[in-house]
Amino acid sequence: MVLDPGSAAGGGLGAGAAPRLPDRHDPLLCSWPSPPPPAPRPAPRCPRGTRRLSETGAGMRRSESAGRRGGGMRAAASLPHIARGRGEEGGGRRSPCLLVALRPRNVEAERERFFRASFAYDPQFEYAEPVPAAVLDKYGAASDRFVAQAIRIIRAVLEKYGTYESFEVATGGRLLSKCQIWSVIRKYMQKEGCVGEVVVQLTDDLLSQAVMMVEDSRPTLAINLAGARQHWLEGMLRHEIGTHYIRGVNNTRQPWHSSEGRKQYSLKPANPTEEGLASLHSVLFRKQPFLWRAALLYYTIERASRLSFSALFQDLEQYVQDAGVRWEYCVRAKRGQTDTSQPGCFSKDQVYLDGILRILRHRQTIDFPLLAALGKVSYEDVNRLKKFGVLEKARIPHFMQDLERYMKQLDHIVTTNGLNEEELEQLLPD
């Protein structure tokens, strides 16, 4: 394995003649700002010439003392994060990534004021540039369709483990060393037959568990050392490589690989299928495949649409004790707002649970290998598109090879999370 000399942590998988991945069809994603890193080593961000493909949910760094300033950030897979664009650091100016534009420029100052006020204050966010009205319109309305299911999943985790932190330790296992992480990555890349195609960087500065992007035409995956747990790392690789990367590579060979092609074939949006499928793959082979992250994001956004920031923060205390973690969830749900004393949300993160439940509802009729082979398509389009698809030499994730086992694991996810067929059919009728 060739190390990437540009890795933030001094190592990466070499990049060979990798297939060039297309842009996502949704707006470009970037990551939420982090406090200045303790060392000058740069974190993977959204650099010039970089397209963000995906991100696996977010771990926040653990505080040196949980109670100080409401608790710091912890290194758990709590929620997805978004990193700051290089255009903000000076130098050449360019159009910012969507979620960078939604990052309040005064978020740290407002955090300090919020904690000093003992949480009885609604932050007044400022933005470097006006938030596009079209974006706010698109993501300004939350859904409550799956709130009951989200609450049930959250409570199931807390009833079994007491706290999320206990769940993380019990099911995620110990944190891995760099050598152990490289070993897992190497073996996984061999399973998928993509050694040398994806640059992998290890960093201790990244707040999310993982970030997948295309940098200088090379697929690049940044992995947070603080979130690489013994029993969860391969799930993250199934999410990023086994789902997003493989479907992206297959998509480049399809007649609908361009926006014009998608219009020609009347394709539905890739989401919520894309993120729902990737999220299922993250937990696919866990003994306790709880959908905590997707459920809590969904619930938080729905409540944000009805509550002020401070009321939302208080509401989340029943599920999340760490004040630093709650702050992060609230900021994510309220981004785009200026006066957070008003109800309102940014609803994009509801896509995870939405996609999960739709796929589980129709899992008996979905051709999952074909869903991977056809590229960035919705499960609803698979049967219609199969006669037009280029299937020769299509890549299928290794974990789909034993389809009987794969389907049993999906059934296990349904059972673990307190779902059932009758309920799913009622929620999502044909």
Cβ neighbours around 179 below 10 Å, total: 8
* The residue type at 398: H
Q: What are the angstrom distances between the C-alpha of 398 and each of 121, 369, 401?
A: 50, 10, 5
Pairwise CA distance, residues 66 & 59, whole Å: 15
* Angle 430-259-360 from CA coordinates, rounded to 5°: 30
Q: What are the angstrom distances between the C-alpha of 214 and each of 45, 211, 221, 277?
A: 11, 10, 9, 21
Q: Give me the catalytic one of 55, 197, 240, 328.
A: 240
Active site residue 234: no
Pairwise CA distance, residues 358 & 416, whole Å: 17
Pairwise CA distance, residues 28 & 211, whole Å: 13
Q: Which residues belong to the active site?
A: 240
